[in-house]
Structure 1
Amino acid sequence: MSRTIRLLPPSVSRTDAYLECVADFAGASMDGSGIVDPREAPVTGAAVAELVAARLAEEDPATVLAQGWVHCTSRWIVDAGTDEMLGFIATRHRLTPYLLEQGGHIGYSVRPSARRQGVAFAALELALADAEELGIDPVLITCDEDNHGSRRTIEKAGGRLEDIREGKRRYWIGDGRRQQA
């Protein structure tokens, strides 16, 4: 089964859907959500509002970010038919040395109950179009070496494996000049 999805900016109007989505992850990693430690995921409306404000500020090039952080476009993956929140995807506007090695330009995760339905591929295709609009070419995407679902998704989207570093498979999509470590 394949779903039609949309990528929407984080919004407090979707707080209930956000909290339901986070609960589905049950403490597992939520790549692309902006949450480094899943145990610190917002559980109240006020905390979600803070997260939304932070994610939207990170997108604005005028925002001064903490050392080591880069501007990033965060989107929530939403089912176009049901409006259910299905996951997260984020496009980092440039690479730091760490992102070049481990994180890449795009990070994403799909809630467990929505996996194996084409959601990750559809979201990645939309995020790649957004990356192109931002002038990011080529795009680096990484996944854990043992994450076979993400590996298939990235390869289906045209990812070409460059190498594996510290347990991360590093793929490039696009023909532009690659940033070097």
Structure 2
Amino acid sequence: MEFISPTSVLENAFLRFYRDFELSDPINSLHYEAARIGFKSYVNQLKDEAQGIYNAEGKVRCNHYWLINDHHEIMAVLRIRHHIDTPYLSSEGGHISLDVSPRFRKQGIAKQALYLAKQKLRRLDIENALITADESNVAARKAIEASGGKLESIINGRVNFKPIARYWISTHTQKTNQTMPFAELA
């Protein structure tokens, strides 16, 4: 399993990822609806965001990655923002956004993805990354904590009006031998 940059070659796999959300998590599927409407344009938009080319005011440079397995299925989507110098990102959005496909949930994918995300963050010289989760999302919070996330606070969200747990994750490797959390990744 590895993170790759978005590519139009995986259109069918991404549209299946989208359909999984549409059926099981329709609110989050709205983030990916543009892919259904025009996939190549969607991929180009993601590439533009990674290069710092924005269409909307207030957006920050953001790298997008797709976590694929050996069968070229998209298991998760990771977004890493280069900085969080906006009111929303510094309070609710954070450096990291991670969406695991509903059919791959409860398999430890989030924990694996966050482990791999630390490598991407280090390459961007981000030493401490903010990641947030709905306070009620116990699975996400456990994955963040298992990945070294330290709870800073719980705030009242101003966008979705839910309590949000704010965590900081260090991207430094520990002096002990840090290994991937799952032996089956080898």
When normalised by structure 1's length, the TM-score is 0.84
Structure ranking higher in helix proportion: 2
Q: Give percent identity, aligned residues only.
A: 34
Give the AA of the match of 1:55: L
Cα root mean square deviation, aligned: 1.8
> Aligned partners of 1:127, 1:165: CA distance in 2, in Å?
24
1:99 aligns with 2:98: no
Of 83, 104, 109, which aligns to 1:114? 104
**2:178 alignment partner in structure 1:** none
Q: How many residues align?
A: 162
1:40-77 CA-to-partner distances (Å, cap 9, x unmatched) read 34325xx111110000111114x255321000010011
Give the AA of the match of 2:151: L
**1:168 alignment partner in structure 2:** 164
1:72-120 CA-to-partner distances (Å, cap 9, x unmatched) read 01001111x2211112111000002211110110001111111111211
**1:83 alignment partner in structure 2:** 72
Moved over 4 A (4+): none
Deviation at 1:173, TM superposition (A): 1.2
Of 10, 14, 20, which aligns to 2:16? 20
CA contact (8 A) 1:22 1:41 kept: no
CA contact (8 A) 2:65 2:77 kept: yes
Secondary structure, counterpart of 2:6 in structure 1: coil
**1:42 alignment partner in structure 2:** 35
> Aligned partners of 1:64, 1:28: CA distance in 2, in Å?
24
CA contact (8 A) 2:21 2:102 kept: yes
1:16-52 CA-to-partner distances (Å, cap 9, x unmatched) read 000011001122415xxxxxx34834325xx111110
Highest RCO, 1 vs 2 (Cα 8 Å, sep ≥ 6): 1
**1:8 alignment partner in structure 2:** 4
Secondary structure, counterpart of 2:36 in structure 1: coil
> Aligned partners of 2:78, 2:28: CA distance in 1, in Å?
13
Secondary structure, counterpart of 2:35 in structure 1: coil
Q: Runs of 5+ in structure 1 lacking a partner?
A: 31-36, 177-181
> Aligned partners of 2:32, 2:145: CA distance in 1, in Å?
31
Give the AA of the match of 2:58: G
> Aligned partners of 2:139, 2:164: CA distance in 1, in Å?
14
When normalised by structure 2's length, the TM-score is 0.81
**1:33 alignment partner in structure 2:** none
